[in-house]
Structure 1
Amino acid sequence: MTYRILCDFDGTVTHGDVTDMLLEAFAEPGWQDIEAQWQAGAIGSATCMERQVALMRCDRQALNAMLDTVRIDVGFLGFAARCRQLGIPLVIVSDGLDYAIQRILTRHGIGDLPVIANRLMFLDDERYAMASPHAVAGCRSAAGTCKCRAARSTEEEEQLVLIGDGRSDFCVAETADIVFAKDKLLAYCRLQGIEHVPFEHFAQLTNFLSMGLEYEPATVTAACERLGVAP
């Protein structure tokens, strides 16, 4: 059996949402109103982020300094190393910003991980824009990065593994072969009856890799027991 892992970034690898951290630090007033429109379903996530990123005002030095304070789940480094040892493709698929993700991963020595995300564009010394090269017309969440599109690139003989925590992961969770979930994604899987394995930190998933990824819906309870989490 071969596997391909799609892993969310903000709130899954990192402690907190990186884009929100940048907006809180550097965006002009009004970004919260845009966020409220998205939360209410009036606009999609791509439109929301495009408008918010356009409100950011800071130079690259300040941007980098903020990104360098972002904490990650320290267990993710061991998890990425274990995937490499086992030859399992690990891809970061995020509705966040590629520059931020790559900066953070590089700081931790894993900047060579493939990243699928929205593109942060530097317009001048202090102004930014966002492009969405991985958007798909008709995407259910109107996301800048359609994770279902990334999932479709999985080879027929591969098992698709999803690791995530939020709304941008919902659609992939419905079709993935294995789902590791926490926070909003965990609640969604429980509500929708989607087979999943809850997790709290990546050290648990590294242990799971070491035990083997063999997984059937009927073994969810046993998998949770091995990870030491409640189903």
Structure 2
Amino acid sequence: MKKTIMIDFDGTITKQDTCVAVANEFVTRDWKNIDERWSNGELSTQQCSQMLFDLMDFDEKTLRSFLEKIEIDDYFIRFIEFCRKRNYDIYIVSDGFDFNIRTVLKKNKINNMEIYSNIFFFDDKGEYNLKFPHKSQDCGKCGTCKTSIYNKLKESSDKIIYIGDGYSDRCVAENADMLFAKSYLAQYCDEKEIEYIKYDSFKDVIDYLQK
């Protein structure tokens, strides 16, 4: 049986949400209202991101240096090793940005991870650019439609295990063959009566899958 692992990044692999951390560090004025409008569905990820980045003040070197301080789950590297020994396919699926993800992974010497996410990069003039190649063509709320990616991966997988914690994991949570949830996602699953396995760290996920 072919098993595929889909993993959220911010707050799941990392101990804190990199997008929130960057906003707290670099936004020049209060931004909480923008985030609240995104979480209640009033703004799409694309709209929210554009508004937030317009309020930020940083250059590539400063941003990269800040992101390198973000810590990952203490057991994530062990989890990768666990999955690779069992030939599980692993995908990071994030509604955040590849710049953040790749900077954090590189700092922790994590290589060869397949990533679906929004794109953030600096051009030759040092100005930032945003792209959303995995945006949903249906609702348009998330920059990265995790349900669409799930459906694509499901075509060549017998079982998909999803691991997440936040708002952008809500839709795909209803489809996953096995779901690990914590924080907001666990609360959402309780409200919607979606079956899930509660976890606090990747050690819990490893222990459960070993059974």
Question: Same fold, TM exceeding 0.5?
Answer: yes
Distance (whole Å) between structure 2 residues aligned to residue 93 and residue 194 of structure 1: 20
Q: Which residue of 1 aligns with 2:94?
A: 94
Contact 1:96 1:118 in 2 (8 A): yes
- In the TM superposition, residue 62 of structure 1 has moved relative to its aligned partner by 0.8
Instruction: Give the Å deviation of 1:71.
Output: 0.8
User: How far 1:125 sits from its partner (Å)?
Assistant: 5.6
**Is there any run of 5+ residues in structure 2 with no aligned partner, and where?**
none
Once the two structures are superposed, what CA deviation does each residue of 1:53-95 show, in whole Å capped at 9, x if it has no partner? 2332212111111011101111011001111111101100000
Shift of 1:157: 4.6
- Aligned pair in 2 of structure 1 residues 139, 40: CA closer, same or farther (>3 Å)? closer
Question: SS in structure 1 opposite 2:55?
Answer: coil
- Counterpart check, 1:113 vs 2:100: no
1:151 CA drift (Å): 0.1
- Counterpart of 1:228 in structure 2 is none
Deviates more, 1:93-102 or 1:43-52: 43-52
How far does residue 131 in structure 1 lie from its aligned partner after superposition?
Answer: 1.0
Partner of 1:127: 127
Shift of 1:124: 5.5
Structure 1: segments with no counterpart, 5+ residues = 212-231
Q: Which residue identity does 1:38 align to in structure 2?
A: W
Contact 1:132-1:144 within 8 A present in 2 as well: yes
User: Take 2:144 and 2:81, find their aligned partners in 1: how far apart are those partners?
Assistant: 26
Moved over 3 A (4+): 30-33, 123-127
Task: Specify the code of the residue in structure 1 equivalent to 2:180.
Answer: F
Rounded Cα–Cα distance in structure 2 between residues aligned with 1:90 and 1:181: 17
Paired with 1:30 and 1:129, the residues of 2 have a C-alpha distance of: 22
Q: Contact 1:135–1:145 (CA<8 Å) still a contact in 2?
A: yes
**Residue range with higher mean Cα deviation, 93-102 or 32-41:** 32-41
Report if the CA contact (8 A) 1:11-1:165 is conserved.
yes
Contact 1:56 1:127 in 2 (8 A): no
- In the alignment, the residues of structure 1 paired with residue 67 and residue 176 of structure 2 have an alpha-carbon distance, to the nearest angstrom, of 31
Are the aligned partners of 1:54 and 1:130 in contact in 2 as well (CA < 8 Å)? no
Letter of the structure 2 residue corresponding to residue 163 of structure 1: I
Aligned to 1:148: 147
- Does structure 2 conserve the Cα–Cα contact (< 8 Å) formed by 1:95 and 1:144? yes
Structure 2 Cα separation of the partners of residues 173 and 115 of structure 1 = 19
In 1, Cα distance between equivalents of 2:18 and 2:89: 24
Q: Is the 8 A contact 2:39 2:167 kept in 1?
A: no
Residues 20-39 of structure 1: matches in 2 within 5 Å? 20-29=20-29, 31-39=31-39
Cα RMSD after superposing both structures: 1.7
Q: Which moved more, 1:105-114 or 1:193-202?
A: 105-114
| Structure 1: distance between partners of 2:163 and 2:138 | 24
Normalised by the size of structure 2, how large is the TM-score?
0.92
**Hey, what's the Cα distance between the residues in 1 that align with 2:110 and 2:23?**
25
Aligned partner of 1:187 in structure 2 is 187
SS of 2:104's partner is helix
CA distance in 1, matches of 2:182, 2:53: 27
